[in-house]
Structure 1
Amino acid sequence: MGLLDRVFGPNTIDERFVDSPMRDNWYQASSYWPSSFSLITTVSEDGSTNIGPYQLTLPFEVIKERSFLVCSRKGSNTETNLHRNPKCAVNFVEFDRKKLKKIVGLGYPGQTTEEKMADNPYTLIESPTPGRGTADGCPLIIKEAFQVHEAHWDETFRIKDDGRTPEYLVLRLENILLKETWAKNIENGTRRMPNMPITFGFRDGEKFWFAERKNAFWFPTPTDKGAREESVLYEANRIDPEVRFTREACKQLTGIPKPFIKTALKGIIKQAKERGVTEVDREFVEMLNKERG
């Protein structure tokens, strides 16, 4: 391997494809799957909080219903705890190389909660959400996290349970907590992204691979593709889950300059909520336009 390969990685564009054997845990034993990971807190039998690291934590239901799909080893502390108490919190932390080795230890099988938490690098605190305290049977959350998804296991939503495969857990979201900086970042148009660590998972029976991302960047949404109302519709239905916009309503708003569209949408939502309207349609937009003269 030459110097350029060591610096930039091998150039494989002109290489031929070859078969990779289909092994168990194929995503990390037969291929490459870089992703973020979560730290899921659950309540152990003695009432203490357990932390379990999970690479396979994926958004599952994303509109109207909201949930994660988590793939868990059968018999893990997390899986065992959720079967006894479905309350959990899905914590996401920013990159801290010193803590990554400790995270590997938190995921090592065969440890009790007491054993693994003795080397826990994080600070556990009570949730600020009413009804989600330890007195309510809920786990503590991680203070160092930049976001926490408070959830519960939906035991009625069984994807596959044959006693042999991993446990597929549908965690239904109850609440999303963000540190103030990151909440304002989303509210004000998402100008930056948190420095989330990336994992390639467990490999070769002896290594957990991680990576630090470089600065995130963005490209503007294309303005010359698709119907113009699509971008308005997408933006409108992300602001307030209690008020939805129809496509026909958004067609009436395509003439608003892009820098002002979010402000205009918030104004329409405010009017809708004051009038008890949960769906903004073309007629409602036209009525507001007439009222403004």
Structure 2
Amino acid sequence: MFGRKKDEAFVSSPMRDNWYQSSSYWPSSFALVTTVDEDGNTNIGPYQLSFPFEIITGRSFLVISRQNSNTDQNIKRTGKAAMNFVEFDRKTLSKIVGMGYPGQLTNEKMKDNPYTLIPSPTPGREPDGKVMPHILKEAFQVYEVTWDDQQPIRDDGKTPEYFVLRIENILLKEQWADNLANGTKKMPRMPITFGFRDGGKFWFAELKKPFWIPTPTDKGPKEEAILYEANRIDPEIQFTRDACKQLTGIPRPFVKTALKGIVKQAKEQGVTLVDEEFVTKINAERNA
């Protein structure tokens, strides 16, 4: 019987190839990576091994690909890809598994493609039959990326390919963009995979309704949460810790509105770093 057994002993699991799915359990989301093949056709490759890599000053994704896969060859030739993220739809899961089966040419695997290929709305990323791929209409989110071949992770000819893909543009369906801009109230219903198991099974899980837990208000410096929120509003305007200390008296429901107002004034005045002096000045002007 499977279940939660608090007193059950740990045993050693053998270290096999593809250890994350053959020696252990590792659930994750996955990306459907679109690239262009030699004949100018858009190829779709499902990738579980895809992760945020650079997240602050740089923005990139790490994708681990089997050597000589369609995606591997296409990225090396064109340098371009799009990472499409879809919501859960049980009817498409067997098609996704089929598109990830090795040894198929693009025209073979795309016969069973359940998705609609559309042009990117980004100027300069329109499909050209040479380099730029289509994106998926059914995706709720797309990362448009370029291979950073000057930042190799490992290239010994023996291991899988490790692609650092620099994110040039993030596309969101309107409802999800509004959700981020106006205070996150829901999350996309993304499918979860446990990967390939036992030589013949690909495991998936359906995500239940996401929920949130409030961040603690009695731990760490009071300005920490404000600093985190402030520096996510506009990449061109950054706040110092001392500036945020001046804002700890604002009631929590009004913090984001206040921060947006400060960012607006900073942009109007050509200020890129909001420090304690700037906050003191605008407070004085408001109270005058």
Equivalent position to 2:100, from 102, 107, 112:
107
Distance 1:254 1:47 in 2: 56
Distance 1:64 1:268 in 2: 22
Equivalent position to 1:242, from 226, 236, 239:
236
Deviation at 1:227, TM superposition (A): 0.5
1:80 counterpart letter in structure 2: Q
Equivalent position to 1:207, from 186, 201, 207:
201
Equivalent position to 1:63, from 56, 76, 90:
56
Describe the superposition over 1:38-78 as per-residue Cα deviations: whole angstroms up to 9, x where unpaired: 00111111111110000011001100100111111111111
TM-score, normalisation: structure 2? 0.97
- Counterpart in the other structure of 2:161: 167
Distance 1:20 1:241 in 2: 45
2:127 counterpart letter in structure 1: T
- Counterpart in the other structure of 2:31: 38
Q: Does 1:50 align with 2:43?
A: yes
Equivalent position to 1:263, from 257, 260, 267:
257
Deviation at 1:11, TM superposition (A): 2.2
1:193 counterpart letter in structure 2: M
- Counterpart in the other structure of 1:121: 114
Distance 1:260 1:117 in 2: 50
Deviation at 1:12, TM superposition (A): 2.7
Moved over 3 A (4+): none
Distance 2:186 2:51 in 1: 22
Distance 1:46 1:164 in 2: 28
Distance 1:252 1:139 in 2: 48
Distance 2:222 2:36 in 1: 48
Report SS of the residue matched to 1:145. coil
TM-score, normalisation: structure 1? 0.96
Deviation at 1:289, TM superposition (A): 1.1
Report SS of the residue matched to 1:250. helix
- Counterpart in the other structure of 1:231: 225
Question: Root-mean-square deviation (CA), in Å?
Answer: 1.0
- Counterpart in the other structure of 2:88: 95
2:282 counterpart letter in structure 1: L
Distance 1:238 1:56 in 2: 27
Distance 1:72 1:85 in 2: 16
Paired residues for 1:72-91 under 5 Å: 72-91=65-84
Report SS of the residue matched to 1:68. strand
Quick one: percent identity of the two aligned structures? 71
| Paired residue total | 286
Distance 2:62 2:5 in 1: 34
Distance 1:46 1:283 in 2: 59
Distance 1:290 1:47 in 2: 61
- Counterpart in the other structure of 1:192: 186
Describe the superposition over 1:80-113 as per-residue Cα deviations: whole angstroms up to 9, x where unpaired: 0000001111110000000000000110000011
* Ranges in structure 1 where 5+ consecutive residues have no aligned partner: 2-8
Equivalent position to 1:145, from 132, 139, 144:
139
1:264 counterpart letter in structure 2: A
Deviation at 1:137, TM superposition (A): 3.0
